[in-house]
Amino acid sequence: MQNWAVFTGDIVRSSDMTPQVLSGVMAALEDAARSIGQWPDSTTAFVRFRGDGWQMALPPVYALRAALVVRAAVRATGKGHDTRIGIGIGAGSLQGGDLSGADGPAFVQSGHALDMLKRAPRLAAPDAPQALRIALPLADRIAQGWTPKQAQVVAALLAPVAPTQDALAQTLGRSRQMTQKQADAAGLGALLDSCDAFEDS
């Protein structure tokens, strides 16, 4: 079995969303999973289930960075939009990138972690290495404060190979100064430091 970080999640207050809005949120999640799979030495698998539920598998080294990018992708879709994520790290069997038949400790831990989450916080990894368990509560608290525009910036700039702020500003149709202001307000610098520290641990 290979080692994986497994995310099992659902969309917060999905019953308040129209089917079209929920589909847009899920599309943003799938796009985020696809982009994470293009990071250096990365691969991902993603599946939607139970209407507002989803699961994703990725390399354990990116567990913190990817959880933040996924949160940002969802929060960027609209005010108040969010997802809960239970994280399991460990061995797992994944045949041909298909999560429907996946099994192993990482998948079990991820499901249990999601079941433990109530109203807040929105991230949990009770069986993960200590470095991740320490980082998650602070990262979660920061992420809950992101506006949709801040989340757009975070989702792009948290990538291991990120665009420059100038390039991102052009893509988003904003000034560089506004893009930098939104990155600062979103706590990007501290989050990048935390991701780098976790990945070096």
Residue 160: which CATH number? 3.30.70.270
Structure tokens at 170: 């052009």
Domain count, the chain: 1
Per the structure, the complete domain to which residue 77 belongs is given by: 2-200
- Consecutive 10-residue runs of the chain (201 residues): their mean pLDDT? 92 95 97 97 92 95 98 97 97 79 90 87 93 94 96 97 95 96 97 95 84
Residue 167 pLDDT: 96
CB 33 within 8 A of CB 56: yes
Output DSSP code: residue 146.
-
Which pLDDT score, from 0 to 100, does residue 101 have?
78
What whole-number distance in Å separates Cα of residue 85 and Cα of residue 141? 14
Across the chain, where does the E strand assignment appear?
Answer: 2-11, 45-49, 53-58, 83-95, 98-103, 123-124
pLDDT value at residue 152: 97
pLDDT of amino acid 74? 98
